[in-house]
């Protein structure tokens, strides 16, 4: 890479010398009336904010989410990060597992509001449409402590702000049709002026999910059609930002989603038949106020979240249909937080935050007459100091405390350092980061109070995490103009004030940009909570296991733009996860190896995209028995073709366009199981037509 970069930079250096000699000698062979002159360049620079320094973060921005607007957030995270997503199939539950930890060890926030279900402690990412999210930030390992406690594996921060690129009203509508009766309609509209901006997003989806699959769970093996897997969901979100003054900003966000889904039988089911479905409603609202001064910034926010789930399981027998479970679960929360930031000097900043949250849950089973009601009050506070030196070293120290149900958790410290190894015009920068943290995760309310089996004496799970990562990013140029060091770090090409958009575009041609990150980590978790069979013939929650997680995460992004207008983009992620219990056995459903690769070839509105995702072998029992209880590895390939048709053009930019997208998923028609005995679809197709005005 180094030799290649030198070869690419050699013409740039020669051209730079030539230009310098030309301008320096111009008075000797030109007269004052000549118009040849060197124009001044406008340089823009961007400096990484303190909150990102010494942290391991994967950001999924609005452009990537917009390209995947017809997907769920579970699919986006699986394709755009090394994080493992455990999916039960199309429209079924999908949970996120960081670094081999449990789904409840992933803390999720929406516009600052904690949306983890207080009963289960986890989030179903299949229920979060990418259309209704503007950006997602993934914090790995101990980096999650900057957002709050509980994320032993990591945390995910979601935002759905009210933003508008222009002051004119805008409107978008997308229609998707796909195999197996899958349909989707998405609409968004908004407007903005100097003081207020707002956007409303709507979504409706339905699917028959009646695909054919090869059933290897019965003898003889045979092809069958999946039934009773229909689902539909509809939702609305509304975001508004008000700026009453230059210093103040008020944000409001609303979210409502309703879903109804039938749950299909597992492949090995051979009974007379069964009916199983789940209906859910989610309503969230948050409001925040922020004031920014020259040295001081603070914000106050409050929000509420309400969820309701109906679950029914009924088996068919010779005597008719027998209802086994008919439950109703409700959860509500009220969350309040305060954040401040004080600039002490050019190199020091002090941050602090505090929150107090109230949770109330209830669940009841009409058949068994069992259930419980519970409340939880929790509060936490943190203070941190951030150092950004003029030299190569930056870092932070953080201390967080928490109280839950009148029980204090030990203090949770975190420290990070970032050291700049290289910083040159050809290589933007190469840095090394180190992060250490101690974190605690409170038992879920089901762990404590579920009847039967809940254990009120459970201790919080505690984890100790250490990360070290290397990141390098930069640019190599084959054109006649090179970027200065500041321009390279900002990612912006120097532009003359008189440059046309076409000239500005050509200055970026022949540029290869890359970013690569490799992270090694180790995490030790004590008092891991598991459910196991008890002496009274039902399962019981207990603090039993110690878990050791260690591994590596690799991410790469590359972009190469040719003078001909062809642009090549690539993204790749790989995760090696070795997570073992006290018997040195790999935890169930955690693949040791997981990776993905995305390549896109773009040419004047046309785009050809290829995606490959690999999931390694997974054990389905804690004994790691390989004969019957191991799922084989599989690789999925997706191919898509996209065409954008501009409806208006301002230079090379069009804010009004029609986009047509054809996708082929599971191109090789692979027969696989993500979860034991859960059928997955073979090759399938979708077509999406989108209009942006």
Burial (0-12, 13-18, 19+ Cβ within 10 Å), 298: middle
Is residue 26 over pLDDT 80?
Answer: no
C-alpha separations of 512 from 9, 145, 427, 442 in Å: 11, 35, 11, 46
What's the confidence (pLDDT) of residue 501?
45
Cα gap 201→131, rounded to integer Å: 8
Q: Are the beta carbons of 685 and 178 closer than 8 angstroms?
A: yes
Q: How confident is the model at residue 20 (pLDDT cuts 50, 70, 90)?
A: very low
Which region among 259-268, 488-497, 614-623, 640-649 has the lowest average model confidence (pLDDT)?
Answer: 488-497
Going by pLDDT thresholds of 50, 70 and 90, the confidence category of residue 509 is low
Over range 440-459, report the average pLDDT: 93
CA distance linking residue 73 with residue 68, whole number of Å = 9
Region of poorest pLDDT, from 70-74, 271-275, 343-347, 590-594: 271-275
- CB distance 235 to 202 below 8 Å: yes
Please compute the mean of the pLDDT values over residues 47-70 and round it to a whole number.
77
**Secondary element (H or E) of residue 86:** strand 84-87
Percent of the chain at pLDDT above 70? 85
Residue, of 641 and 10, whose pLDDT is higher: 641
- The pLDDT value recorded for residue 287 is 95
DSSP 221-268: -EEEE--S--EEEEEEEEEEEE-SSSSEEEEEEEEEEEEEEE-PPPTT
Q: Which of the residue ranges 131-140, 232-241, 486-495, 502-511 would you say has the lowest mean pLDDT?
A: 486-495
Task: Band the pLDDT of 21: cuts 50, 70, 90.
Answer: very low
DSSP-derived 3-state class of residue 584: coil
Predicted local confidence at residue 163, as pLDDT: 62
- Cα separation, 227 vs 263, in Å, equals 9
H or E, element range at 79 = helix 73-80
* pLDDT over 50 (residue 44): no
Q: Are 119 and 376 in contact (CB under 8 A)?
A: no
CA nearest to 239, candidates 281, 202, 197, 204: 197
d(CA 150, CA 144): 8
Q: What is residue 579's predicted lDDT score, i.e. its pLDDT?
A: 93
Sheet holding 106-110, edge to edge: 57-60, 135-140, 154-159, 106-110, 113-114
Distance between CA 132 and CA 201 in Å, rounded?
6
- Angstrom distance (rounded) from CA 360 to CA 364: 14
End-to-end Cα distance, the chain: 43
Residue 411 has pLDDT above 80, yes or no: yes
pLDDT for 325-369, tens place per residue? 999 999 999 999 999 999 998 889 999 999 999 999 999 999 988
The Cα angle at residue 359 between residues 358 and 362, in degrees rounded to 5: 155
Instruction: Tell me if the pTM is above 0.75.
Output: yes
Q: What is the pLDDT of residue 464?
A: 95
Closest CA to 570 of 516, 645, 518, 615: 516
**Strand ranges (E), 368-504:** 371-388, 393-404, 407-422, 429-441, 461-477, 495-496
Mean pLDDT across the chain, nearest whole number? 84
Residues 128-152 have a mean pLDDT of 92
Q: Which of 83-97, 110-124, 232-246, 515-529 has the lowest mean pLDDT?
A: 83-97
3 pLDDT band (50/70/90 cuts)? very low
């Amino acid at each position: 890479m180094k030799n290649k970069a030198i070869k690419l930079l050699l013409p740039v250096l020669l051209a730079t010398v030539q230009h310098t000699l030309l301008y320096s000698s111009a008075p000797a062979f030109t007269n004052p009336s000549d118009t040849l002159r060197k124009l001044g360049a406008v340089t823009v620079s961007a400096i990484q904010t303190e909150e990102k320094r010494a942290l391991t973060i994967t950001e999924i921005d609005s452009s990537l989410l917009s390209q995947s607007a017809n997907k769920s957030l579970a699919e986006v995270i699986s394709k755009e990060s090394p994080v493992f997503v455990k999916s039960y199939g199309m429209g079924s539950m999908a949970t996120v597992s960081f670094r081999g930890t449990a789904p409840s060890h992933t803390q999720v926030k929406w516009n600052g509001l904690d949306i983890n279900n207080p009963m289960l402690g986890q989030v179903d990412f299949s229920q979060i449409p990418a259309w209704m999210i503007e950006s997602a930030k993934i914090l790995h390992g101990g980096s999650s402590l900057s957002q709050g406690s509980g994320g032993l594996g990591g945390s995910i921060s979601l935002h759905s702000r009210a933003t508008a690129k222009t002051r004119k009203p805008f409107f978008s509508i997308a229609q998707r049709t796909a195999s197996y009766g899958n349909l989707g309609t998405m609409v968004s509209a908004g407007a903005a002026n100097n003081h207020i901006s707002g956007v409303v997003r709507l979504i409706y989806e339905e699917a028959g999910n009646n695909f054919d699959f090869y059933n290897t769970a019965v003898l003889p093996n045979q092809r069958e059609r999946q039934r009773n897997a229909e689902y539909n969901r509809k939702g609305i979100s509304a975001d508004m930002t008000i700026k009453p003054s230059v210093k103040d900003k008020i944000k409001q966000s609303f979210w409502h989603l309703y879903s109804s889904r039938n749950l299909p039988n597992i492949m090995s089911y051979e009974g007379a038949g069964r009916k199983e479905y789940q209906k859910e409603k989610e309503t969230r609202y948050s409001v925040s106020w922020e004031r920014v001064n020259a040295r001081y910034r603070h914000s106050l926010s409050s929000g509420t979240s309400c969820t309701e789930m109906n679950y029914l399981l009924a088996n068919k027998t010779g005597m008719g249909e027998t209802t086994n479970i008919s439950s109703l679960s409700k959860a509500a929360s009220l969350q309040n937080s305060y954040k401040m930031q004080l600039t002490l000097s050019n190199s020091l900043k002090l941050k602090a935050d505090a929150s107090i949250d109230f949770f109330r849950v209830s669940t009841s089973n009409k058949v068994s007459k069992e259930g419980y009601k519970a409340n939880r009050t929790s509060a936490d506070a943190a203070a941190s100091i951030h150092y950004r030196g003029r030299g190569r070293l930056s870092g932070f120290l953080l201390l967080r405390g928490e109280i839950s149900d009148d029980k204090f958790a030990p203090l949770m410290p975190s420290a990070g350092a970032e050291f700049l190894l290289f910083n040159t015009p050809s290589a933007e920068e190469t840095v090394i980061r180190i992060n250490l943290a101690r974190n605690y995760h409170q038992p879920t309310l089901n762990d404590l109070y579920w009847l039967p089996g809940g254990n009120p004496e459970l201790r919080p799970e505690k984890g100790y995490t250490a990360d070290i990562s290397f990141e390098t990013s930069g640019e190599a140029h084959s054109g006649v103009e090179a970027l200065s060091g500041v321009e390279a770090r900002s990612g912006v090409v120097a532009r003359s004030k008189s440059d046309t958009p076409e000239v500005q575009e050509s200055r970026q041609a022949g540029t290869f940009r890359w970013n690569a990150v490799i992270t090694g980590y180790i995490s030790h978790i004590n008092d891991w909570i598991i459910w196991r069979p008890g002496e009274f013939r039902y399962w019981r929650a207990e603090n039993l296991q110690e878990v050791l997680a260690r591994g590596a995460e690799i991410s790469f992004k590359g972009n190469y733009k040719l003078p001909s207008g062809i642009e090549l983009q690539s993204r790749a992620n790989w995760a090696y996860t070795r997570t073992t219990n006290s018997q040195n056995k790999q935890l169930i459903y955690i693949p040791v190896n997981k990776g993905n690769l995305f390549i896109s070839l773009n040419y004047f509105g046309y785009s050809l995209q290829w995606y490959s995702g690999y999931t390694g072998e997974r054990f389905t029992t804690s004994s790691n028995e390989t004969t019957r209880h191991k799922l084989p590895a599989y690789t999925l390939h997706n191919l898509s073709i996209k065409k954008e048709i501009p409806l208006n053009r301002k230079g090379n930019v069009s804010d009004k366009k029609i986009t047509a997208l054809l996708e082929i998923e599971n191109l090789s028609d692979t027969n696989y199981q993500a979860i034991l005995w859960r059928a997955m679809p073979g090759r399938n197709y979708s077509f999406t037509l989108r209009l942006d005005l």
